[in-house]
Amino acid sequence: DIIKEQNRELRGTQRAISRDRAALEKQEKQLELEIKKMAKTGNKEACKLLAKQLVQLRKQKNRTYAVSSKVTSMSTQTKVMNSQMKMAGAMSATAKTMQAVNKKMDPQKTLQTMQNFQKENMKMEMTEEMINDTLDDIFDASDEEEESQDIVNQVLDEIGIEISDKMAKAPSAARGLPSASASTAGTISDEEIERQLKALGVD
């Protein structure tokens, strides 16, 4: 990768500049010691020459700071460019994927599929509603029949507690319809039935 190679070169350059600066700082200290030594001996000419060297050396040292700053800036720019290239690559891949998807997706076909789904869903809901209504009618009718039969059985049980034995002894042809020839012990009069119904609160 070109960018990685450039980053390695920039890091190598930065280390080389740091080594040069360290060497210049070492020379700077030596020159300062020499200047002090010449000053003590009163050698003004030597002090002037050494001072000029010291000025040049310090200028060179300052240049290393400027170059180092430039290298750091270049390294930062390289990293930014690398990041931008990665983002551009990701966007390019995404665009290609979107293009492929758009080619495979037919808007008209997709719309038709959605409409068909909605239509079939409505049919299914209508069918389900019709089935539920039919089942409700069946169960409601069954419940009403059972409830009606329960009421009849309850009334018959409440009345039949007293008349079941007598009805069992009554002639089959005259069951429920008392005849004039039937014995008084084997039949129940209308008055007695009405009396028991009134006692139960049934008019």
pLDDT in tens, 1-34: 677 788 888 888 889 989 999 999 999 999 889 8
CA distance linking residue 64 with residue 31, whole number of Å: 19
Q: Where are the domains of the chain?
A: 1-72+155-162
Averaged over 88-110, what is the pLDDT?
83
CA distance linking residue 126 with residue 129, whole number of Å: 5
Report whether 71 contacts 10 (CB < 8 A).
yes
| pLDDT value of residue 41 | 87
**What are the residue ranges of helices labelled H in the chain?**
2-41, 44-104, 107-169, 190-199
| pLDDT value of residue 60 | 92
| pLDDT value of residue 172 | 47
The yes-or-no verdict on residue 45 having pLDDT over 90 is no
- Among 8-12, 113-117, 154-158, 174-178, the range scoring the smallest mean pLDDT is 174-178
What is the fold of 1-72+155-162?
Answer: Helix Hairpins (1.10.287)
pTM: 0.42
